[in-house]
Structures are given as C-alpha cells and as structure tokens.
Amino acid sequence: MIRLNQVSVTYPGGFTALHPTDIEFRRGEFTVLLGASGAGKSTLLRCLNYLNVPSSGHVHVEGIGELKRRSALLAHRRRTGMIFQQHQLIGRLSALRNVLTGRLGYHGTWRSLVPLPPEDQRIALQALDRVGLMAKALERVDSLSGGQQQRVGIARAIAQRPQMVLADEPVASLDPHTSVQVLGLIRGVCAEDHIPAVVSLHQLDLARQFADRIVGIAAGRVVYDGAPAGLSDLHLEAIYRRDPTRSSEATAAPSTTTEFPLNLATEKS
Amino acid sequence: MQSEHDAVLLQQRQTFRRGSIQLLVVATVITICSIYVGLFDGARLAEGIPSMISLIGEMFPPDFQNARDWVEPLLDTLAMSVAGTALAVTFSVPLALLAARNTTPHPVVYQVARAILNGLRSIPELIMGIIFVAAVGFGALPGVLALGLHSIGMVGKFFAEAIEHVDEAPVEATRAAGANGLQVIWHGILPQVLPQMADVSIYRWEYNFRASTVMGMVGAGGIGFELMGSLRIMQYQEVLAILLVILVMVTMVDALSAVLRRKFK
C-alpha cells in the first residue's frame, strides 16, 4: 500500500543516512524496522510521511499516488497515524486537546480556529478510551506518567482513523514492562482495525515478539527483510555489526533523536 | 617548592592589579559623566537645597479638596492602559508570527517585520502622544494610540522570541497528522507560548498604566492632565495629593498584575 522507489536521504552536512532503497509495505503487516542507533531506520520511517524529504527517488501511496503535491501529502498524512519516541505532546494541554490534534486534517483552517465539532470530540474520546485513559481525558498531559503520555500519543494516532500507523522508536524512553504493554497496545489496535504498522525498534527481543516482518537496517541499507523466524546470527551480525550475543548492548543504546545533525529538518510548511 | 609558590603568588598579584585597573577605568568614566552633567556642581546644588525644602514645605499638607474631580481622569488612565495594551497585543501576534524565524513566510518578510518592531520601539511614547494629539485632538484616544503603537515594538519582539523558542516536537506531530501551515501555528505553536504571551501582556499593561499617567502632560488624557494643571498654577499641595493617589493606584495595579501573572504560569 506504500512503496519506496530508489529513495535516499543525504543530510545537509553530506552524511547519507539512507542509500537508494526499494521497499514496499503491505496491508495487514506489522513490520519492525530493526537496527542500531544511527542505522537509518528512523530516516526510512520518516520518509513514509515526508517528515524527512527524500533527496532522491519517490514514495508511492496506494489510492493517492506520488507524494509530491502538497495536497497529496496532506491527504496521506491525514490517514497516516504517527507515534513518536518523545510522545511529542503539548504538556500544558489536556489529553483530550492533544488527541484532537489528530482530527485537524479533516477540517479547514477557519473551522479549526474554534473547538472541533462534537463528532470529532467523541472520536477523540473513543480513542482515549481504547488506550484506557478515559479517566484522564481532562488532565494536563505533563501530569501523566511516561507510559500514559505515550498512550495519549497512540490515542492521537487512532483518532486520525488512520489507514496506516508509523511508530518511531515508540518505547525507547520507557521501561521494559511498559514497553511490552505499549507495543502490545499498538499491535492490538492495528490488528483490530486491519491496518498495517511500521515500527522502528532497536530491541531485538521486542522485534521478535511483535513483528510479522522484520526489516533489518545497517549503515543506511536494508540488510534483512523477512519473517522473524528467518533471522539468523549472521543477519544479526550484519544488522548490529557486532557479536550477536551482545545484542543487549544495543537495547541500552541512547535515544535516536540525537543521532543526526539535523533530525528535525523537515519541509517548509 | 619556594619558587612554585612565588609563581602562584605573582600571578595572584597580577590578577589583582588587572582588576584594580579595570575598576579605576570604570570609576573614571563615571566621574567624567557626573562632572559633565553638573552632578558635582556643589554651589548650584547648595543653592537648590533651600528652594527644594521650601517646595516640599509648600506641598504639605496634601490637598484632597478636588479629589472628586480626579475620579474620571483616573478611570480614563486605567481605560487607556487596558485599551492601549489590547491594541498592542492584537497587532503584536500577527507581527510576531512574521518576525519569528520558524513561522515567517519569507526571510525578507522577517527582516521587514523586525525593522517595524525596532522602529516602533525606538519612538518614545511621549513623542507619539504629541503626534497623535496633533492628529486626533486632545483626550484619551491619542493616549491609547500612542501607548498601543509604542508597546507593539516590545510586546511583538517578546512574542516573536517566545515563538522561536517553542518545542519543535509537538509542532512536528501536528504536521504529521496532516495539519496545514496555519493549523500548525494555531494548534501546535500558540498553545505552547500562551503562558509567556499572557505574562508579557500583563506586564506591559502594568507598564502602560504607569506610562499613561505621564501621557496627560502632552494633552493625551488621564490623570497626568490634572497633574500638569496643578503644577502650572503652582498648587503644590494638590500636586502631592495627586502623586499620592497615583502611587496608590500603581501599587494596586502592580499587585493585581502579579496575581494575574502567577495564574497563567
């Protein structure tokens, strides 16, 4: 349903984060992009909704076409829910107001100056209910715990009524127990609604536990693409470029938001 | 060992000497400026002391006889400060969006918006007051226009700075949900800077109240007009009374502003 054709990303400093890549993500698949910090998995993921604009190649979306025109991009983003590592919520607003951000794409500029219609409010509340935070709907997001904040982030993506979910290191700043809960939640929602998900992770054990398909990435190239069961020690060595038995070290790798000089570089709006 | 200690102590002495020289230079500059403006003109100051004392003597006791006539000018002053600040905030928000690097549509627009803000800030409100009195006549209106216009320079600059320091992460999330440019500003940026905007606006209101007491002196309405009138006919007892009333009002506005600003944290 979304296809990358010879997509590459080179940052202004000259560093190539992603070498020309062809890959397709299909309906109903829970795909994990697996790799060490700085391998390029976030870059690849962010190409899927143009938060990183490819330096070359193009992205083709089923039913929309190529993501070049601004209107096509906005339409694609509206139906693509994104979950971020650092939640990326506005701390002083309520959980509900944060989730309502997911409904903005469905309304014009003028309509969105005033509170959105009751239907949208209800959709947002349902989304919060699905992540089990109905009771916290009117609380300020900065008063919630890290795991709860991430669930608000997931609710925001659900509220978009997405046809695809992207998650960029959604559990990198959570403890192991909460990580399993949050990934389980994302996987459950996607399975229920029959929507594909692309999730970047650096933890091998979590990838094996949740993925239908694993795409291993190292040094800006896809080095493995297949079922978790087919992942051999040789593949792991290629992915982590180190002794596969020491992959727990990769689990403790630092956040990926600092791995590139210009990670937040996006298109001018 | 001995020589090592000597080296350290020598360095210590040099640091002290350098500090002394710097202090001396600053003191010299201050002295020259003070002599230049006549602050050390003993004879002239001594001459002034008796007339200061007699002037202060003439101020006592404060004369509140006409206090009833000040109620309206005081309300004028208060209304001027509120309306002037509102005017400033209204124009500051769009100007700040044009003058912030992350929301400006074009670098040229950014430069122009910054230039406008600097220009407005560099014309004193009293001068603007004189100009507006000439343009629209005496009263509160020229005062409001002068306060508002001058305030845009400072309020707009602070708003722009707050917008530039916004957390980019939620902004990106808003964009990822398919929001267009204006929606990103309205739902991703403004909610984040609202507390700072409220803080700056309330502080500016407090400042404008103090400033509007002076605006009357150029005929732009308010309690300053009464103050000027009493000064002209040398009713010094009344002058002191008006000054006391202004002091009480300023204190009240300050306290209210402090409470409001704490609320918006």
Q: What are phi and psi of B81, to 5 degrees?
A: -65, -40
Q: How many domains does chain A have?
A: 2
Write down which residue in A136, A161, A186 finishes a domain: A161
A156 and A172 assigned to the same domain: no
A240 and A208 assigned to the same domain: yes
Residues paired with residue A168 on neighbouring β-strands, in sequence order: A200
What pLDDT sits at residue A64? 84
- Contact in structure between A34 and A218 (CB atoms under 8 Å): no
A125 and A170 assigned to the same domain: no
Write down which residue in A107, A137, A161 finishes a domain: A161
Q: With an 8 Å Cβ cutoff, is B187 touching chain A?
A: yes
In a domain, A268, yes or no: no
Percent above pLDDT 70 for chain B: 100
A194 and A63 assigned to the same domain: yes
A102 and A32 assigned to the same domain: no
Among B residues 76-95, those touching chain A with beta carbons less than 8 Å apart: none
B25 and B79 assigned to the same domain: no
Mean pLDDT for the stretch of residues B150-171: 93
What pLDDT sits at residue B40? 83
Residues paired with residue A5 on neighbouring β-strands, in sequence order: A58
Could you tell me which residue, B68 or B189, shows the higher pLDDT?
Answer: B189
Question: How many C-beta atoms lie closer than 10 Å to residue B255's C-beta?
Answer: 11
Q: How far is A229 from chain B (nearest CA, A)?
A: 33
Over residues B5-47, the pLDDT tens digits come to: 888 999 999 999 999 999 999 999 999 999 888 888 888 888 8
B152 and B34 assigned to the same domain: no
Q: Do A82 and B173 touch (CB under 8 A)?
A: yes
Is the pLDDT score of A165 beyond 60? yes
Q: With an 8 Å Cβ cutoff, is B191 touching chain A?
A: yes
B220 and B144 assigned to the same domain: yes
Question: How many C-beta atoms lie closer than 10 Å to residue B58's C-beta?
Answer: 13
- Count residue pairs from A and B with Cβ separation < 8 A: 81
A151 and A175 assigned to the same domain: no
Residue A29 belongs to what domain range?
Answer: 2-79+164-258
What pLDDT sits at residue A250? 40
A144 and A117 assigned to the same domain: yes
Q: Do A264 and B172 touch (CB under 8 A)?
A: yes
Over residues A135-164, the pLDDT tens digits come to: 999 999 999 998 899 999 999 999 999 999
Amino acid at B8: V
Tokens of B252: 């009240």
Is the pLDDT score of A248 beyond 80? no
What pLDDT sits at residue A263? 36
Q: Which helix (H) or strand (E) holds B32?
A: helix B2-36
A29 and A133 assigned to the same domain: no
Over residues A84-140, the pLDDT tens digits come to: 988 899 998 999 999 999 999 999 888 888 889 999 999 999 999 999 999 999 999
Nearest Cβ partner for B178 among A78, A88, A89: A78
B85 and B190 assigned to the same domain: yes
Q: What is the rounded average pLDDT for all residues in chain A?
A: 85
Q: Do B191 and A92 touch (CB under 8 A)?
A: yes
What CATH number did the domain enclosing B206 receive?
1.10.3720.10
Q: In sequence order, what are the residues at sequence separation of 6 or more whose Cβ sits closer than 8 angstroms to the Cβ of residue A89?
A: A98, A141, A149, A152, A153, A156, B170, B173
A181 and A215 assigned to the same domain: yes
B211 and B249 assigned to the same domain: yes
User: CA A95 to CA A159: how far, in whole Å?
Assistant: 12
User: CA B99 to CA B161: how far, in whole Å?
Assistant: 9
| Optimal mutation site among B93, B172, B197, B263, interface A, most CBs of chain A within 10 A | B172
Over residues B102-123, the pLDDT tens digits come to: 888 899 999 999 999 999 999 9
Mean pLDDT for the stretch of residues A188-211: 92
User: CA A172 to CA A193: how far, in whole Å?
Assistant: 25
Q: Do B177 and A160 touch (CB under 8 A)?
A: yes
In a domain, A86, yes or no: no
Percent above pLDDT 90 for chain B: 39
- Contact in structure between A20 and A7 (CB atoms under 8 Å): yes
What pLDDT sits at residue A82? 94
HSE at residue B91, side-chain half, CA atoms within 13 A, is 18
Amino acid at B19: G
What pLDDT sits at residue A254? 40
In which band, very low, low, confident or very high, does the pLDDT at B265 lie, cut at 50, 70 and 90? low
Q: Please give the DSSP secondary-structure letter assigned to residue A22.
A: E
B160 and B217 assigned to the same domain: yes
Q: In sequence order, what are the residues at sequence separation of 6 or more whose Cβ sits closer than 8 angstroms to the Cβ of residue B202?
A: B257, B260, B261, B264
Mean pLDDT for the stretch of residues A31-55: 90
- Contact in structure between A43 and A17 (CB atoms under 8 Å): yes
What CATH number did the domain enclosing A71 receive?
3.40.50.300
Q: Where are the alpha helices (DSSP H) in chain A?
A: 41-47, 70-78, 95-100, 118-130, 146-159, 176-193, 204-210, 233-240, 248-251
What pLDDT sits at residue B216? 81
In a domain, A33, yes or no: yes
In which band, very low, low, confident or very high, does the pLDDT at A242 lie, cut at 50, 70 and 90? low
A146 and A14 assigned to the same domain: no
- Contact in structure between A4 and A24 (CB atoms under 8 Å): yes
| Residue A204 zone, left/alpha/beta (φ > 0; ψ -120 to 50; rest) | alpha
Tokens of B262: 């704490």
B39 and B78 assigned to the same domain: no
Q: In sequence order, what are the residues at sequence separation of 6 or more whose Cβ sits closer than 8 angstroms to the Cβ of residue B117?
A: B95, B99, B152, B153, B156, B157, B160
User: CA A11 to CA A263: how far, in whole Å?
Assistant: 9
Write down which residue in B21, B41, B59 finishes a domain: B59
Write down which residue in B39, B59, B79 finishes a domain: B59
This complex has an ipTM of 0.77
User: CA A140 to CA B50: how far, in whole Å?
Assistant: 64
Q: How many domains does chain B have?
A: 2
**How large is the greatest C-alpha to C-alpha distance in chain A, in angstroms?**
56
| Torsion of the alpha carbons at A62, A64, A67 and A73, rounded to the nearest 10 | -120
In a domain, A263, yes or no: no
Question: How many C-beta atoms lie closer than 10 Å to residue B38's C-beta?
Answer: 9
In a domain, A154, yes or no: yes
Poorest-confidence range of A23-32, A252-261, B122-131?
A252-261
Tokens of A189: 């929602």
Q: What are phi and psi of A219, to 5 degrees?
A: 50, 40
| CB neighbour class for A105 (10 Å; exposed up to 12, middle 13-18, buried from 19) | buried
Residues paired with residue A8 on neighbouring β-strands, in sequence order: A56
Over residues B175-233, the pLDDT tens digits come to: 999 888 889 999 999 999 998 999 899 889 989 988 888 888 787 777 888 888 888 88
B114 and B23 assigned to the same domain: no
Residue matched to tokens 């659900």: A158
Write down which residue in A127, A161, A195 finishes a domain: A161
B250 and B168 assigned to the same domain: yes
In a domain, A264, yes or no: no
B52 and B75 assigned to the same domain: no
Q: With an 8 Å Cβ cutoff, is B247 touching chain A?
A: no
Q: Name the strands in the sheet holding A56-61, side by side, starting at the edge strand that comes first in the sequence.
A: A16-25, A2-10, A56-61, A65-66
- Contact in structure between B115 and B101 (CB atoms under 8 Å): no
A192 and A253 assigned to the same domain: yes
B178 and B225 assigned to the same domain: yes
Residue B21 belongs to what domain range?
Answer: 2-59
Nearest Cβ partner for A49 among B174, B176, B183: B176
| Optimal mutation site among B180, B199, B263, interface A, most CBs of chain A within 10 A | B180
Q: CA–CA distance from A243 to each of A15, A63, A227, A237, B250 (Å)? A: 26, 43, 21, 6, 72
Q: Do A84 and B177 touch (CB under 8 A)?
A: no
A63 and A171 assigned to the same domain: yes
Rg of chain B (C-alpha set): 26
In a domain, A65, yes or no: yes
Is the bond into A118 cis (omega within 30 degrees of 0)? no
Q: Do A77 and B174 touch (CB under 8 A)?
A: no
**How large is the greatest C-alpha to C-alpha distance in chain B, in angstroms?**
83
Q: In sequence order, what are the residues at sequence separation of 6 or more whose Cβ sits closer than 8 angstroms to the Cβ of residue B64?
A: B241
Q: In sequence order, what are the residues at sequence separation of 6 or more whose Cβ sits closer than 8 angstroms to the Cβ of residue A70?
A: none
B36 and B90 assigned to the same domain: no
A90 interaction partners in chain B (CB closer than 8 Å) = 170, 188, 191-192
